[in-house]
Structure 1
Amino acid sequence: MIPIMVRLTQYAQGGGCACKIPPGELEDVLTGLGVTPKDPAGELLVGLETGDDAAVVRVEGGTAIVSTADFFTPVVDDPYDWGRIAAANALSDVYAMGGRPLMALNLLCWPRETLPYDLAREVLRGGADVAALAGCHVAGGHSVVDAEPKYGMAVTGLADPAALMRNDAGRAGLPLSLTKPLGLGVLNNRHKATGEVFPEAVDVMTRLNAAASEAAIRAGVRCATDVTGFGLLGHLFKLARASGVTAVVDSAKVPLLDGARQAVRDGFVPGGSRRNLGWVAPHMSGGTDEETMLLLADAQTSGGLLIAGEVPGAQVIGELVPRGERPIVIR
């Protein structure tokens, strides 16, 4: 690994999945675009309608192709770790659908006049190493000159059409399980502001969701999503809304990273996390202290899977119940 000569996080306004367009604004942009051309053969299994993690198309031979793309500005200063995190995050969309990543293409935006290409090489190396762990081929990609550095991947995967996990397949009576702790957004924001390094957070962000996805498929799970830039509450709202159920969350059972609460108390809350909470608040009843609510809405980067079911190693944080007055209830 080359020495870190610059702090990459200082070259971007946002950081990681917290740099996403706010969910409410994005839904306004996409209004009216959910209509696809007629599909009499039923080949398009998952499209734009429910805002799921990836698109899925059925092809001949009883196979489905899963397609997604994800990229973002630096979430950590170490270029190799940033590459690993961005790759794990992009691959997660395929795992969230119950698929297996097959091929990825790099997406790189680079400020060539302000950052050396040696750093870009480290970013790409990190992405390649994580893709190799996933058994996913990296076969080229696309690059452009940009004022801010950005990196990610477009990923193609394969899945069994009969065993897809979708965000609109939840049903009342199912438990809700989370496979990674929350707090990545506030810890990454603290890292950007102070330079403090949080090895546990890096470990969580670089950990593939492959094992969790495989365990969910074996358990017969048909409803899941991953928790990224819209936070636990944002992604849970989309799941409950699409499935026509209410999600009840026991806030005391939600796992948190060490130092996450202190980061909130010290004021290191990303703007994206506050926007997430503002977006979901009108669709929510109950609640708890502000500190916990901000963590429930915290913009995650390469977070875990939120699963409607129980799987080994995942923390049960609530349940789905028949649709009530609001899609989300916090206890």
Structure 2
Amino acid sequence: MEDIVFCKGGGCTAKLGADVLKHILSKIPKGEKDISLLVGYDSSDDAAVYRISDDMAIVQTLDFFPPMVDDPYIFGQIAAANALSDVYAMGGEVKTALNIVCFPEKMDLNILGKIMQGGAKKVNEAGATLAGGHSIADDSVKYGLSVMGLVNPDKIYENNKAEPADILILTKKLGVGLVCNAQRVGQAFKGSLDEAIESMTTLNKKASEISRNYEIHACTDVTGFGFLGHLNEMINNNVSAEIDSISIPVIKGALHYAEEFLLTAAAQRNRNHVADNVDFSENITFAMEELLFDPQTSGGLLFAVKKEDALPFLKELKNEGLPAAIVGHFTQKKEKNIYIK
């Protein structure tokens, strides 16, 4: 499959670094404030939210990237699941999606067909409607979705509203970037990529739906900026976070690949961006550090949930077969944003 097999920087590893984005976004003229825009890009949140009535708001997002696996049908599923996730991270319900396609004209169009079939499968699974899209000829393959959802304006999950004593629950395992990198160079363990693919193709729909039964103060999905990058975006002026590294759910082989230095450039960009805000205790290994900086593609949701709701919420997630775990908690503001123990 030529370019698809060994595409450079596939999945969310292809994201521009957070430092670069922050610099660029700071120079964009914002114009007059629209009071109906409830969530924009100021807080680095997962999607925009625009109020259209007292009890309804539109959630708008888009995401696309190059392949990270050599099966076009699976790649389509992963890219779609990743794009849909932003709506779930805001507490919304997906309604429509538009395809975003970049494809070389000389490549076999059957490959493009498989990619789009995979994407459609996940849109249908989300209970949404694929309503069209846009394509351009390019020198490499890229695919994703522009997604529209709905949410009650009073029930939006913003990423930076956590409170002291909130419990952190992560709904998927970490290690996708490390696993895909190991697979690309032929050093992945048997079953490791299968576990990563299962994780990446799993919608965050069920986790988001279950969460509505509990008091959620903040939420984000863990993608290209890694666990620590996205957790750092959840920090506000009132809180810091303490993470129990032993409780982190991990895809098979991921820590070993980190020990073997099968790392991504995106993980290093994540480290450069957020490391000054993180305190690692002496017992934290290099491999664990890399896992926490590892860019995830179609990663899990990271919830800040009221302490009393954490255990029943976790039980419901696990009853649905999700590898969710309590990975830490928020505290009153300390010197650093994040403490890893």
How many residues align structurally?
A: 322
Residue 295 of structure 2 aligns with an amino acid whose one-letter code is: A
For each residue in 1:125-184, what CA deviation from the matched residue of structure 2 results, as whole angstroms up to 9, or x when unmatched? Answer: 000001000011011100011112100000000011111111121111101110000000
Residue 327 of structure 1: aligned partner = 337
The worse-fitting range, judged by mean Cα deviation, of 30-39 and 154-163 is 30-39
Pairing 1:55-70 to 2, within 5 Å after superposition: 55-70=48-63
Residue 288 of structure 2: aligned partner = 292
Residue 211 of structure 2: aligned partner = 216
What residue ranges of structure 2 are gaps of 5+ in the alignment? 318-323
Cα distance in structure 2, aligned partners of 1:59 and 1:13:
41
SS at match of 2:212: helix
Cα distance in structure 2, aligned partners of 1:69 and 1:325:
35
Displacement of 1:195 in angstroms is: 8.3
Cα distance in structure 1, aligned partners of 2:29 and 2:13:
25
Q: Which of 305, 308, 311 lines up with 2:304 in the alignment?
A: 308
Q: Does 1:281 align with 2:275?
A: yes
Cα distance in structure 2, aligned partners of 1:61 and 1:43:
10
Residue 57 of structure 2 aligns with an amino acid whose one-letter code is: A
For each residue in 1:17-57, what CA deviation from the matched residue of structure 2 results, as whole angstroms up to 9, or x when unmatched? Answer: 00100111111111143735232xx3111011101000000
Displacement of 1:124 in angstroms is: 0.2
Residue 315 of structure 1 aligns with an amino acid whose one-letter code is: A
Residue 50 of structure 1 aligns with an amino acid whose one-letter code is: S
Q: Which of 90, 95, 98 lines up with 1:102 in the alignment?
A: 95
Q: Normalising by structure 1, report the TM-score.
A: 0.94
Displacement of 1:252 in angstroms is: 1.1
Q: Does 1:229 align with 2:229?
A: no
The question of whether the paired residues in 2 share the 8 Å contact of 1:66 and 1:94 is answered with yes
Residue 325 of structure 2 aligns with an amino acid whose one-letter code is: Q
Root-mean-square deviation (Å): 1.5
The question of whether the paired residues in 2 share the 8 Å contact of 1:163 and 1:222 is answered with no
Displacement of 1:329 in angstroms is: 1.0
Q: Does 1:48 align with 2:41?
A: yes
Q: Percent identity?
A: 40
Residue 4 of structure 2: aligned partner = 8
Cα distance in structure 1, aligned partners of 2:187 and 2:150:
39
The question of whether the paired residues in 2 share the 8 Å contact of 1:170 and 1:243 is answered with no
Residue 245 of structure 2: aligned partner = 251
Residue 82 of structure 1: aligned partner = 75
Residue 265 of structure 2: aligned partner = 271
Q: Normalising by structure 2, report the TM-score.
A: 0.91
Q: Which of 137, 152, 161 lines up with 1:169 in the alignment?
A: 161
What residue ranges of structure 1 are gaps of 5+ in the alignment? none
